[in-house]
C-alpha cells in the first residue's frame, strides 16, 4: 500500500530522543546488518541482487511482518549481501486482530515492555500498538530461527547484529529520499560502507 505523508496525521520529531514513543503512527526507515558484516544473503551482479537460500528466508519473514502485525504496512525494501534497508509504517487503521501477549509464543522476545498483568476482572488488558523495536525483533528472531535450520558447512547461530539503525521519516521529501536510496542500493554496492571490500584494514 502506497502512503502519502500527511504532516498532521504523521507528525514526527526531527531528532531522535530516548523518550520518543516508537509506537506512534508514522514511517520509519530501518537498516539491519549481518553479524560481522558477512555476506550471507547472495551477491550483486551488474547492479542486481541475486538472493540465495538465506536471502529468500529474509524476504519471507519481512513479508510476514504484515501478517503478524495488523497495525503495520511496509514500504520500499531491499536485501543486500550483508544488510537490509526497509521502510516500516505504523498505521492507525487496523487490518485485523493479533495474538494477545499471553497467546504469543514469542512473548518474551517480542513483548518485553508489554504489561500482561490481568485486571481484577480477570480480563486481558487492551493490546497496545506495536513498537518499532518489537517489529524488528520479530523479523530478526523468526528469520534467524529458520536460517539456522539450513544445513551448511559452518554453524551460524547469530545472523544479525544485536542492534539496528533507525530514522524517523519526517515529511514527504524525506520519505521519497529514503525510498529512492533503497531502490538504488544494489547499484551503489561498490561504494557501500558495508561492502567488505571497502573496509579499511
Residues 6, 19: Cα–Cα separation, whole Å? 23
What confidence score (pLDDT) does residue 93 get?
A: 62
- Is the whole-model pTM more than 0.85? no
Kindly tell me if the per-residue pLDDT of 98 is higher than 80.
no
What kind and span of H or E run contains 145?
helix 132-147
Q: Pick from 118, 101, 119: which is nearest to 110 by CA? A: 101
Kindly tell me if the per-residue pLDDT of 64 is higher than 80.
yes
Kindly tell me if the per-residue pLDDT of 102 is higher than 50.
no
Q: Predicted confidence band at 183 (pLDDT cuts at 50, 70, 90)? A: very high
Kindly tell me if the per-residue pLDDT of 138 is higher than 50.
yes
Structural domains present in the chain = 26-94+131-184 (3.30.70.1290)
What confidence score (pLDDT) does residue 68 get?
A: 94
Tens-place pLDDT, residues 109-133:
333 333 333 334 444 444 568 999 9
Kindly tell me if the per-residue pLDDT of 42 is higher than 70.
yes
Residues 12, 27: Cα–Cα separation, whole Å? 9
Residues 75, 77: Cα–Cα separation, whole Å? 6
Tens-place pLDDT, residues 144-171:
999 998 866 566 778 999 999 999 999 9
Give, in degrees to the nearest 5, the angle at Cα 51 between 181 and 165: 40
Mean per-residue pLDDT of the chain: 78
Q: Pick from 58, 83, 27: which is nearest to 196 by CA? A: 83
Amino acid at each position: 500500500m502506497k502512503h502519502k505523508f500527511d504532516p498532521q496525521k504523521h507528525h514526527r520529531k526531527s531528532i531522535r530522543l530516548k523518550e520518543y514513543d516508537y509506537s506512534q503512527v508514522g514511517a520509519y526507515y530501518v537498516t539491519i546488518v549481518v553479524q560481522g558484516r558477512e555476506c550471507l544473503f547472495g551477491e550483486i551482479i551488474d547492479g542486481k541482487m541475486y538472493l540465495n537460500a538465506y536471502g529468500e528466508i529474509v524476504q519471507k519473514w519481512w513479508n510476514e511482518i504484515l501478517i503478524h502485525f495488523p497495525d503495520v504496512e511496509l514500504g520500499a525494501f531491499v536485501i543486500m549481501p550483508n544488510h537490509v534497508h526497509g521502510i516500516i509504517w505504523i498505521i492507525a487503521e487496523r487490518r485485523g486482530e493479533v495474538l494477545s501477549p499471553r497467546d504469543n509464543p514469542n512473548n518474551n522476545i517480542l513483548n518485553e515492555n508489554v504489561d500482561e498483568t490481568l485486571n481484577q476482572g480477570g480480563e486481558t488488558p487492551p493490546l497496545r500498538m506495536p513498537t518499532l523495536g518489537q517489529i524488528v525483533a520479530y523479523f530478526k528472531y523468526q528469520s534467524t530461527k529458520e536460517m539456522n535450520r539450513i544445513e551448511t558447512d559452518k554453524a551460524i547461530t547469530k545472523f544479525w547484529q544485536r542492534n539496528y539503525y533507525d530514522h524517523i521519516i519526517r515529511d514527504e521529501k524525506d520519505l521519497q529520499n529514503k525510498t529512492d536510496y533503497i531502490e538504488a542500493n544494489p547499484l551503489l554496492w561498490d561504494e557501500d560502507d558495508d561492502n567488505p571490500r571497502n573496509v579499511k584494514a
